[in-house]
Amino acid sequence: MSEPTGVIHDIGYRHYDGARLGRGHATAALAVHSLRGIFGLGRTARSKIIPFVLVGVMLLPAVVSIAIMALIKQEGMRYTEYAVIMQAVLAIFLASQSPYAVAPDLRFRVLPLYLSRPVTLWDYVGAKLAAMTAAMFLLLAVPLTVLFVGEVVIDLPGDTHTVEYLTSMAGAAGYALLLACLGIAVASFTPRRGLGVASVIALYLLASAVSTVLFGVLESMGDDAAAAWAWLINPFFVVDAAVHVGIFGATPASNVIYPPGAGSLVAGVIMIALIGLSVTALIARYRKAASR
Amino acid sequence: MTILATEGLTRRFPRVTALDQLTVTVGPGVTGLVGANGAGKSTLIKILLGLLEPSAGRAQVLGMDTATKGAEIRRIVGYMPEHDCLPPDLSATEFTVHMAQMSGLPRTAARERAADVLRHVGLYEERYRAMGGYSTGMKQRVKLAQALVHDPRLVLLDEPTNGLDPQGRDEMLALIRRIGSEFGISVLVTSHLLGELERVCDHVIVIDGGKLLRSSAIGEFTQQTQTVTVEVEEGQDALAARLGELGETVTPHGRMLLVHVRAPETFDVLRDAVCELDLCLVRLEQGRQRIEDVFREPVNV
Ligand SMILES: Nc1ncnc2c1ncn2[C@@H]1O[C@H](COP(=O)(O)OP(=O)(O)O)[C@@H](O)[C@H]1O
Ligand SMILES: [Mg+2]
């Protein structure tokens, strides 16, 4: 039978009898969706500006280092110093993007829809943390890897810093996890994005200022041992001390001397405690939000 | 076949008892859950989804206990909340695909289902635009689409006609009717207006203050709700008097008159009376009185 072309046939409602995957699939879908959102993918052009400008800024030191290695044959930046030197940029990315990951779901009340799916509160929080952790890791790992590729290609006399590179990648994972937990936990407390951005940045400035001032004061009083502890108020030095120095025995970031002996262990404990505290706060926060 | 059942279901909040010893059974088809604001409709839906724990009693959905099988229930049940729930910077397509994946559908299947379902709820070209610019009617359609996208066996629709104009309301109600009959998906739909639900439901449950007032097949309700609401600019009293003379039963209700429809001729009488008195007709609406009004009338069963 020949049908006239150009006619749309209403095929009626069709039931779905394909696969229904589990919570893991849904959680992964949420994490990918959130990660894309953090970089502004699938959103307006305007929301891509901040993340991609910051990615560009993060790449600058790697590009400059490669240029130095290629042109004046001198070693570039140390891998394990990268995060500490670029900490302000990492903090700005964390502050501007973590509210995006959590605030709209609270503000526009999408959360009840997620919870009406098989996923649990833990899955939801886990997916958001995973997305932000992945974003922070990419932000650090990409420039570090670019720098490493540059170093291998240029091949200066002397050893390639493979161990330092791998150490810095482990450090990047540590930074990503700690920063994401802190950023998402703080941002989740307000449905308003602007307030979230301000809170995260204020917290970073406070920690960094207190750490620097306390170090200066204690050092001027001649108490170098106490001054060394002051670094561990800033989360960026906590990860450097715990992962780079503590686990892999790298030299601390420039100008910094960590407390000898138990210093790295304490840094590790601080790191784990901050992560634990953030996750606990997040779960409490979302329990309350879900009961509305 | 029982779609859902509750047994002595009670939920207390610090200051109110939202559900009070509620025992109901719901079969396949479209079931209306009617009650005034604060009657406990949304609370019941949250318990059925396993998102809220009852203070006492039990509930079963599709044969599964809500207290222990929440995740399994949510896999095959759809939920449309009464409040806004759409992120404004996503398009309806992106959002519906995402929500299908959240229900466990693989990505390709999620896309196909989303396209199908958005077409069924009546969203076409606009589905590629950001939802922030949608009208209330379009938003309600997307909210319905995300509840249907994983082809659930039951959908819980919380006040789907809220905020819609009369035409949007009619379209939404027609859609709900189709979900129940053509799609073969059971529906539990809430409203504070009995009149609109009686047009699409097979069965109606009425609750008040968390207590069951009535649960019965639709036929038993319609008699009581055969009322037209009339609003005229001036001369309400004159119209009431005239209709009374002509043998109609009229109850004043604020600025409106509720006229009992004793037979189809009532409409003719009403029209003629308005014309004769040369009144300016503002509103003439069928069966949209609030639930309190229905129960204020004597029940003659
Ligand atoms: N999370 C809550 N905390 C305290 N009281 C609540 C909560 N949720 C609902 N209530 C109260 O329970 C009653 C029933 O609410 P609800 O189920 O939302 O009614 P409906 O949906 O029928 O309008 C109302 O008095 C409401 O104030
Ligand atoms: Mg409600």
Assess whether B215 and B239 both reside in one domain: no
B158 vs B152: CA distance, rounded Å: 16
What residues contact A151, with CB distance under 8 A and at least 6 apart? A66, A69, A76, A160, A161, A165
Assess whether B48 and B195 both reside in one domain: yes
Sheet holding B211-217, edge to edge: B77-80, B154-157, B186-191, B30-34, B203-208, B211-217
**The pLDDT value given to residue A264:** 87
Pairing of strands B56-61, B30-34: unpaired
**The pLDDT value given to residue B222:** 59
Decide if B133 contacts B89 (C-beta within 8 A).
no
Assess whether B150 and B75 both reside in one domain: yes
In a domain, A27, yes or no: yes
Determine, for residues A104 and B51 on separate chains, whether the beta-carbon distance falls below 8 Å.
Answer: no
* CB of B89 less than 8 A from some CB of A: yes
Mean pLDDT of B18-41: 95
In a domain, A108, yes or no: yes
B39: Cβ below 6 Å to ligand 1? yes
ipTM: 0.89
Ligand sitting nearest the alpha carbon of B40: 1
What are the φ and ψ backbone dihedral angles of B14, each rounded to 5 degrees? Answer: -45, -40
Nearest CA in chain B to A47: B89
* CB of A120 less than 8 A from some CB of B: yes
Nearest to A16 among B89, B107, B151 (CB): B151
Residue A29 has pLDDT above 80, yes or no: yes
- Residue A221, both tokens: 């009083």
Chain A contacts of B104, Cβ < 8 Å? 19-22, 25-26, 117-118
What residues contact A233, with CB distance under 8 A and at least 6 apart? A207, A210, A211, A214
What residues contact A194, with CB distance under 8 A and at least 6 apart? none
Mean pLDDT of B242-264: 85
- CATH number, domain containing residue B257: 3.30.70.100
B191 vs B189: CA distance, rounded Å: 7
In a domain, B251, yes or no: yes
CA-based torsion, B159, B163, B165, B166: positive or negative:
positive
A97 vs A132: CA distance, rounded Å: 8
Nearest to B84 among A25, A47, A109 (CB): A109
B291 vs B189: CA distance, rounded Å: 15
Average pLDDT score, chain A:
91
DSSP string, A67-108: HHHHHH------GGGHHHHTHHHHHHHHHHHHHHHHHHHHHT
User: Which residue type does B110 have?
Assistant: A
In a domain, B301, yes or no: no
In a domain, A290, yes or no: no
In a domain, A43, yes or no: yes
Single pTM value for the model: 0.85
In a domain, A288, yes or no: no
B125-166 residue pLDDT tens:
999 999 999 999 999 999 999 999 999 999 999 999 999 999
Assess whether B287 and B161 both reside in one domain: no
A223 vs A27: CA distance, rounded Å: 50
Decide if B118 contacts B149 (C-beta within 8 A).
no
* CB of A46 less than 8 A from some CB of B: no
Mean pLDDT of B242-263: 85
Number of domains observed in the structure of chain B: 2
Of the candidates B259, B217, B213, which has an alpha carbon nearest to the alpha carbon of residue B239? Answer: B259
Q: At what angle do helices A121-154 and A23-38 cross, to 10 degrees?
A: 60
B274 vs A145: CA distance, rounded Å: 83
CA distances from A269 to A139, A174, A232, A241, A272 (A): 25, 13, 11, 11, 5
Decide if A108 contacts B87 (C-beta within 8 A).
yes
- Residue A158, both tokens: 């002397």
Chain A contacts of B71, Cβ < 8 Å? 23, 118, 120
Measured in residues, chain A has a length of 292
Chain B contacts of A23, Cβ < 8 Å? 71
**The pLDDT value given to residue B223:** 55
B31: Cβ below 6 Å to ligand 1? no
Could you say which DSSP state residue B91 is in? B
- Touching A: B residues 157-176, CB under 8 Å: none
Atom of ligand 1 nearest to the CA of B158: 21
In a domain, B57, yes or no: yes
Pairing of strands B17-22, B4-12: antiparallel
Number of domains observed in the structure of chain A: 1
SS3 B118: helix
In a domain, B199, yes or no: yes
Assess whether B244 and B208 both reside in one domain: no
Q: At what angle do helices A87-107 and A46-72 cross, to 10 degrees?
A: 160
B43: Cβ below 6 Å to ligand 1? yes
Assess whether B234 and B213 both reside in one domain: no
Chain A contacts of B150, Cβ < 8 Å? 16, 20
B42: Cβ below 6 Å to ligand 1? yes
**The pLDDT value given to residue A160:** 86
Residue A93 has a CB neighbour count (10 Å cut-off) of 25
Decide if B176 contacts B18 (C-beta within 8 A).
no
Mean pLDDT of B222-233: 74
* CB of A126 less than 8 A from some CB of B: no
A114 vs A109: CA distance, rounded Å: 10
**The pLDDT value given to residue B196:** 85
Res. A199 pLDDT band, cuts 50 70 90:
very high
| A:B CB pairs within 8 Å | 99
B205 vs B2: CA distance, rounded Å: 15
- In the structure, ligand 2 is a single-atom ion and the residues with CB under 5 Å from it are B 41-42, 82
In a domain, A281, yes or no: no
**The pLDDT value given to residue B300:** 39
- Residue A205, both tokens: 């400035």
Decide if A171 contacts A242 (C-beta within 8 A).
no
Assess whether B194 and B291 both reside in one domain: no
B205: Cβ below 6 Å to ligand 1? no
B228-244 residue pLDDT tens:
888 888 888 899 999 88
3-state secondary structure B48-76: HCCCCCCCEEEEEECCEECCCCHHHHHHH
Residue with more model confidence, A82 or B193: A82
Assess whether B282 and B191 both reside in one domain: no
Determine, for residues B94 and A109 on separate chains, whether the beta-carbon distance falls below 8 Å.
Answer: no
In a domain, A60, yes or no: yes
Res. B282 pLDDT band, cuts 50 70 90:
confident
* CB of A73 less than 8 A from some CB of B: no
What residues contact A204, with CB distance under 8 A and at least 6 apart? A91, A94, A95, A235
What residues contact A72, with CB distance under 8 A and at least 6 apart? none
Atom of ligand 1 nearest to the CA of B37: 23
Nearest CA in chain B to A28: B102
Mean pLDDT of A99-113: 95
* CB of B182 less than 8 A from some CB of A: yes
Residue A292 has pLDDT above 80, yes or no: no
Domain residues for A79? 23-276
Domain residues for B253? 225-296
Assess whether B63 and B183 both reside in one domain: yes
Decide if A113 contacts B99 (C-beta within 8 A).
yes
Determine, for residues A117 and B103 on separate chains, whether the beta-carbon distance falls below 8 Å.
Answer: yes
B191: Cβ below 6 Å to ligand 1? no
- CATH number, domain containing residue B199: 3.40.50.300
User: Which residue type does A213 have?
Assistant: V
Determine, for residues B102 and A47 on separate chains, whether the beta-carbon distance falls below 8 Å.
Answer: no
Assess whether B166 and B292 both reside in one domain: no
Candidate of B11, B15, B16 to mutate for ligand 1, largest count of ligand atoms within 8 Å of Cβ? B16
Assess whether B99 and B231 both reside in one domain: no
Q: Whose CA is nearest to atom 25 of ligand 1?
A: B38
Of the candidates A85, A53, A108, A86, which has an alpha carbon nearest to the alpha carbon of residue A289? Answer: A108
B160: Cβ below 6 Å to ligand 1? no
- Residue B113, both tokens: 């289902």
Assess whether B9 and B84 both reside in one domain: yes
